[in-house]
Chains A and B, each alone.
Chain A
């Protein structure tokens, strides 16, 4: 589809700019139309590509990232700098899901190449990528499933053409997902591998968070996600021995984890269920009463999690969330204390001063117990308190996402359709510093490209990619390092396979 190559498309950029300079003499108003007409001629695009490659053959880096930066042509500098602003005007009124905005995002910011390497586990295109299911949620809210692309170029082309507000990633299938209907046996179309994924959503915390509800978040309740990431990440690394875990902001109020180790990718559903079950601690619905029922002595995983969570309990829960401030909530806390005498004593105390902050109420439990209102052993009380800490802090996973190999999950780096924020990676080492509210939106980023004032005229300096001019830069760098680490392990692991493949090629002659 040559027509899908739109005016701002990367390779054509240079030439169309040049051409538009010529024609724009007639009047700035016609400029856009003319560019469009020129660029949509396939021949022109092809020619431009060749020309571009000739000119920049020393530039071996990502040609998928366009640069709208002024080319070293001083005469035209001024007008070419205005080019992006002319093609899509970003005003405060622009909405992030507008096709033009999304198109610019896919053309200039989405890191297709690292994305490809991430899913392909190698630089050479293979089935790992070609048989991978992508699902596009289109502008009209229709979900198109079972899309697949042999290379990142074709994926990019499709994205630029369809401008999906959301891309989901599914498993790698035994055959190309596009051919699934041509198969004689349904059994030859089965998912064969897929990252182990986790989804943590703030919704599940609604009964214990007091600051916001539903889709809203603030820095206070993000602390729940921070705790969850710490616990799950350490369990996956220390207990299961996984190394390549990509944590991702989901764009609004949650986080996703992609465990990319080969061992994790090849797990069947029963093993995925086992991991999810291992990590799942809170059971029971709203009417189920106590949600934590763990064996004693505590399993080492629970013990470690409790140690991680304890630190957060006093700050995040008691001070910031203040979950037992009103009477109804305090009654729930009483319900979690098994000791009836103690419960009665506490109830009496709190009835007289119902608005005591949670931290004092929490302290009351111990002080009242010490003053003699304890009928059971102090060990029981300690265990009950541990259970309460766990109920209020332990990660609440949407376990069904992890249990099935063919569950779709939103891709990293796409734009969240409701907030416009990019689904950027979260560094699990510095998870405390991550602030969801400061994650750039797509409009911020596009503006940053336009506002960028770099001195690129200096000779010898490498041309910057568009993303490098924006605040997306640290995130993409982080992703790039992650992917590089994954590829390295993959190469070492698959070292035995390589010679044979080469041998197979030789036989073709």
Chain B
């Protein structure tokens, strides 16, 4: 018992006594040598860099990451993303392979290494930032992993010494047929396999693309990517949460803190592109329930579709109601007006039924009722294009979603013609976009077409900058820009307050 007490105190006290000793025991303020193009970012950098480097490197990486993110928002396929990113990467964060024998090989890798860790510091503070950072870093890693030289990639993977077991020759011979069948290889393709716990490759198991034996999955070499990437993400997530815990104790003067704060601010999610400032549109007086019909001309196609369906059926199903209510909330319709709007729209329904079955959902969307978190956050955020495009397709009788995605091409064309898009070249271009699953591009194309004149005008007189006319990724942004453009001549409506900085809070 005495020993117990003794050891308990001891273990608690020990770190307090010598943490500085430990921290600086083996400080190595020195350059690391980078053998591989790819980096798993296991060791933090320890050498000195200038403040300017600190900032510029981080900004370069940030640019790469936000371009990557916009690729995913625009629903680009991996190939398209890779193509699009090539020039951006070579401009901001070039990384050459060993075989290129470039002079600046080590410098490039150093920049990559440092910038990664700087952004880790900047983006570890909140759960939201951590998740996004880890997702984007994983995308970047996967992109680089894919186009790495085959041999160098193998060496890199070998050096990682991940915990897996190579399938030896005897076993390979014994299981040959099964291995071949499981990974659908043709005879003669000599392959290497690795054996791991199946839990590490759930997506390969789910698609039955690996051989399973007693809880082990036999992963063919070429599927290695998903293993390595999964490991990368896992490590990064762990490291980020550790960083978050260490952050308050960051022994920091006021040189780095402002830079880090600035970095994390300019990395705000376009998913949250909707901000409360979007609801405040100059020149647009507070919206009433009966003005929605007029305003619906400025709505994006998804919302126009909901509006027309609502008018046609005097009803909308749950997800459509939710999508539309949130949008209306986003354009500044108050809760009371919104309830009036829905009550009037459901004109075939008894008041009792409406009060019982519908009102609560509207109030919930506005954060008027529900759990604590819902009320504090004032309900849900209006859905972004990304959210609307990636959610499951609507079932029979449902009208929600993005029409560019959910409509058949013929119905889409009919719909566009109904809202006044007649130009045949445009319709053809839209169809092509839709075929390439670039719904978002199609929507922006329609926007540019229907606001052709206004856009030209504001461009000519220079009242709107190029940033104000950036791609639209949120239905509420669509409405806001459309409304402002259409009222550009009226009074002070031409002043685009906040339209340009919609990426920021």
Contact = CB atoms under 8 A, between A and B. Distances in A.
Query: Chain A contact residues (Cβ within 8 angstroms of B): what range?
Result: 20 to 34
A275 B201 CA distance: 11
A308 B131 CA distance: 45
B172 to A, nearest CB: 15
Interface string B187-220: 0000000000011001101111001111110000
Interface in B373-390: 373
B213 A267 contact: no
B206 A241 contact: no
A500 interface: no
A6 B180 CA distance: 65
Contacts of A277: 205-208
A507 B373 CA distance: 40
Interface stretch (A84-92, A149-157, A296-304): A296-304
A300 B202 contact: no
Interface string A259-302: 00001000100110111111000000000000000011111111
B393 interface: no
B215 A273 contact: no
B420 interface: no
A238 interface: yes
B470 to A, nearest CB: 35
Contact of A186 (B182, B202, B208, B373): B373
B371 A186 contact: yes
B184 A295 contact: yes
A296 B8 CA distance: 61
A240 B178 contact: no
Interface SS majority for chain B: helix
A242 B216 CA distance: 11
A297 B216 CA distance: 21
Nearest to B211: A300
B466 interface: no
A298 B206 CA distance: 15
A299 B198 contact: no
B330 to A, nearest CB: 26
B1 A240 contact: no
Contacts of A56: none
Contacts, number: 65
A328 interface: no
B1 A278 contact: no
A239 interface: yes
B181 interface: yes
A241 B214 CA distance: 4
B212 A239 contact: yes
B4 interface: yes
A263 B202 CA distance: 14
Contacts of A186: 371, 373
Nearest to A294: B208
A276 B214 CA distance: 17
A278 B205 contact: yes
Given A238-B214, A240-B215, A271-B199, A300 B205 contact: no
Nearest to A279: B208
A1 interface: no
B8 A240 contact: no
Given A267-B199, A295-B184, A299-B182, A507 B206 contact: no
A295 to B, nearest CB: 5
Nearest to A235: B212
B184 A297 contact: yes
A298 B203 CA distance: 18
B202 A507 contact: no
A273 B202 contact: yes
Contacts of B373: 186
Interface string B322-358: 0000000000000000000000000000000000000
B181 A300 contact: yes
Given A186-B371, A186-B373, A270 B211 contact: no
Contact of A271 (B4, B202, B207): B202
Contacts of A363: none
19 contacts: A186-B371, A238-B213, A239-B213, A239-B214, A240-B214, A241-B213, A267-B199, A274-B202, A276-B206, A277-B208, A278-B208, A299-B182, A299-B208, A300-B178, A302-B208, A503-B4, A507-B1, A507-B4, A507-B8
Interface of A: 186, 238-242, 263, 267, 270-271, 273-278, 295-303, 503, 506-507, 509
Interface of B: 1, 4, 8, 178, 180-182, 184, 198-199, 202-203, 205-208, 211-216, 371, 373
